Amino acid sequence: MRRLVLAALLLNPAAAFAEPPPGAASCSGCHAVPARAEAAIPPLAGRAPEAIAAAMLAFRRGEGAPTVMDRIARGFTEAEIRAIAAWVAAP
Ligand code: HEC
């Protein structure tokens, strides 16, 4: 069930923005959706891209106690993570 929810979120193309890097459109399925702001998922927009990339790379190394972000982060290369971080950080 949890996998299904995750897949649904990942497959939901969040927006018709111009050409997000691969994977970036999936982030807003959980992050920075106003209706879910109380769900303890930190917003990404407005954060420093380096901070987002650093957190993603740490998740990828298995640091911290993530619930889903470790699995998500492992699906991307470092270059992809940096491109996504720059995209989702844009105001
Ligand atoms: C399925 C929901 C979901 C999706 C999709 C998702 N995230 Fe997350 N994100 C979370 C949750 C929940 C956390 C809190 C850490 C945890 O439990 O894994 C988090 C934490 C983070 C953090 C750390 C923020 C902080 O303040 O510590 C970053 C950075 C992040 N996500 C980036 C991304 C990026 C980039 C994407 C798209 C590739 C993404 N997330 C997609 C749910 C999601």
How far is residue 89 from each of residues 1, 8, 40, 47, 65, measured CA to CA in Å?
30, 23, 18, 6, 23
pLDDT at 47: 86
Residue nearest atom 12 of ligand 1, based on CA coordinates: 41
Asked if 80 and 22 count as a contact pair (C-beta separation under 8 A), the reply is: yes
**Ligand 1 proximity of 32 Cβ (cutoff 6 Å):** no
What is the distance in A from the centroid of ligand 1 to the CA of 31?
7
pLDDT for res 63: 95
To the nearest whole percent, how much of the chain has pLDDT over 70? Answer: 71
**Residue bearing the CA closest to ligand 1, atom 43:** 30
Per-residue pLDDT reduced to its tens digit, 29-65: 788 655 555 657 888 888 899 999 999 999 999 998 8
* 49 touches ligand 1 (CB under 6 Å): no
